[in-house]
Amino acid sequence: MTFNGAEAFVATLCACGVDTCFANPGTSEMQLVAAIDRQPGMRAVLGLFEGVVTGAADGYARMTGRPAVTLLHLGPGLANGLANLHNARRAGSPVINMVGDHATYHLHFNAPLTSDAVGVARPMSDWVRVARSPRDLAQAGAEAFVAAMEWPGQVATVIVPADHAWSGPAAPVDPRPAPPVPRAPAAAIAEVAEALRGDAGPVALLLGGRALRADALEVAGRIAAATGAKLICETFAARVERGAGRVAIDKLPYFGEVASEFLAPYRTIVVCGTEPPVAFFAYPDKPGALSPPGAQVLRLAGLREDAHDALTALADALEAPAQPVDLQPRHVPDAGARLTPEAIGAVLADLMPAGSIVSEEGISAGAALFDATKGAAPHDWLMVTGGAIGQGLPVATGAAVACPDRQVIALQADGSGMYTCQALWTMARERLKVVTVVLSNGSYAILNIELGRVGVQNAGPKALSMLSLDNPRLDWCALAAGMGVPAERADSVAAFRAAFARALTAPGPMLIEAMV
């Protein structure tokens, strides 16, 4: 069998175990489309906007630990996907991008779509490679897989000149093994162990990245049992395995001064799977680093080191008990009378089936939703890791593709939902089991808070109009219907509860517009 470059490239990716392509192709990618067509091992999922494609690849990676491949149309198509690649990088998600480009001999014509594809790729990729020949394409694919699998995951981008895709001869290359998982330095573990055995004062264990999976959390719970350490979840985590029966963990608050207050009691802060806590934004006359002045901050393991292993080594060094601290009991808060984020969280805590996956982009509602659901049936909670909004619906889409047997729930603020609302169409097309709850408050509510926090007083109507989504009010039920997703509106707790219960029984996606 003879291969052209595109066929050898796609076959190589398949051999590496890449079985899903999130795609938004154009003319320069038609040979890649044809190559995917001929590969029974690769599923193709169309997105109607590139931010859907890259965000779905992120969601897929968070749930599988493996990269999906994206298919994007030259520099401008890649550009549309950058914001969610930024989030994917911050999540440590493995993603492979295949980006078509003009034929090598066509670039000098400077045709309208000519752009600096490498320049577009670089700011949001950990690794970029331009294929050098038809034969080199397969090699680039194998290397991209290794780069993407650099623990816990990286964004790897391959630029595919059209003539290399359609020309031969080429042949698939053998997959290379994923790189080993780097271990945290033994000295770091020893230092933390020594500190915790001594006079460490009140201790906080700030967990992020892979330290938030159930197995690592269980070990962290044993360390807490040994040391009395408070377990804290980083503010924007890629994936937290939580809920009833799992080790309970509170989240570091978003606003810097609230986070500082939250951390103030602790004299020792041990960081695992993430970096020492900093404010999301700077504000005039407010500190950027959030650890209490004078506290010792110790780094057990970073995002790119094996957090579970480091926690286990620490637990061993501390001779921690086999049982973790008290596990989170099943708990359903009172939903109250008004439909608020807290009430939505309470209904979720009551009704969410075990094994649910929550993609949460609640923005101003995020903290309340997280808190209210801590005693829900065991579930995964995915957050906006990089602060680039428009992540929630695409990540829900990718998670549902990755885990067809699990219920996905997208908790989506209305303002941020609009950036990648096209994801609803992919949910409908693929009949994904996603219940989208839009928290409709008609406002960039977070910005109305932030305006005062950066020192703006007496904002006038023009400023406020730039933060308001009223006039006209978005109708998310109509938007969903426009993309083939059945929807209903809820403006009371009872209505929301009934709608959510119905949505869980639907064979495909549903959207509930919750008027909060």
Nearer to a copy of itself among residue 222 and residue 304 (C-beta): 304
Q: Which is nearer to a copy of itself, 77 or 243 (CB)?
A: 77
Measured CA to CA, the distance from residue 170 to residue 188 in angstroms comes to: 47
- Contact between 169 and a copy of itself by CB under 8 A: the answer reads no
In terms of Cα–Cα distance, which of 311, 240, 249, 237 is closest to 275? 237
Mention every residue, 6+ apart, whose C-beta is less than 8 A from residue 381. 237, 239, 240, 242, 358, 360, 370, 373
Instruction: Give the footprint of a copy of itself on residues 391-420 (CB under 8 A).
Output: 415, 418-419
Binding mask 217-256 for a copy of itself (x = CB under 8 A): -------------------x--------------------
> Is residue 282 a contact point for a copy of itself (CB under 8 A)?
yes
Q: Taking Cα atoms as reference points, which of 288, 318, 300, 310 lies closest to residue 205?
A: 300
| Contact (Cβ atoms closer than 8 angstroms) between residue 434 and residue 397 | yes
**Could you say which residues in the range 179-208 bind a copy of itself, by CB under 8 A?**
none
Whole-angstrom CA distances from 484 to 77, 88, 490 are 24, 27, 19
494 is an interface residue for a copy of itself by CB under 8 A: no
Residue 37 vs 261, nearer CB to a copy of itself: 37
Stretch that binds a copy of itself, among 151-159, 372-380, 425-433, 498-506 (CB under 8 A): 425-433
Which of 15, 17, 19, 34 is close enough to bind a copy of itself by CB under 8 A? 34
By beta-carbon proximity to a copy of itself, the closer residue of 80 and 227 is 80
CB atoms within 10 A of CB 293: 8
466 binds a copy of itself (CB under 8 A): yes
- Residue of the chain from 18, 192, 240, 474 that contacts a copy of itself (CB under 8 A): 474
Q: How many residues are listed for the chain in this entry?
A: 516
- Minimum gap (Å) between residue 473 Cβ and a copy of itself: 7
Q: Which span sits near a copy of itself by CB under 8 A: 175-183, 243-251, 398-406, 469-477?
A: 469-477
Distance, in Å, from the CA atom of 15 to the CA atom of 172, rounded to the nearest integer, reads 9
- Contacts of a copy of itself in 323-362 (CB under 8 A): none
Q: How many of the chain's residues bind a copy of itself (CB under 8 A)?
A: 99
Cross-strand partners of 44: 21
Q: Quick one: which H or E segment has residue 511?
A: strand 510-515
Pairing of strands 68-73, 95-101: parallel
Give the residue carrying structure tokens 């003319």.
27
| Closer to a copy of itself by Cβ: residue 206 or 244 | 206
Give the span between the Cα atoms of 185 and 29, in whole angstroms. Answer: 44
Element (H, E) at 398: helix 392-402
- In the block, residue with structure tokens 């928290």: 439
Closest CA to 216 of 105, 345, 102, 306: 306
Are 183 and 305 a contacting pair, CB within 8 Å? yes
Q: Pick the binder of a copy of itself from 15, 17, 19, 26 (CB under 8 A).
A: 26
> β-strand 240-242 against 379-382: which pairing, if any?
antiparallel
| Residue 394 φ/ψ, nearest 5 degrees | -60, -45
Subset of 6-25 contacting a copy of itself (CB under 8 A): 23, 25
Residues 104-123 that bind a copy of itself (CB under 8 A): 105-106, 109-113, 115-116, 119-120, 122-123
User: Which of the residues 35 through 94 are near a copy of itself (CB under 8 A)?
Assistant: 36-38, 44, 46, 48-49, 51, 75-77, 79-80, 82-83, 86, 90
- Binding to a copy of itself (CB under 8 A) within 251-280 occurs at 275, 278-280
**With respect to a copy of itself, which residue has the nearer C-beta, 82 or 514?**
82
The yes or no reply on residue 476 touching a copy of itself (CB under 8 A) is yes
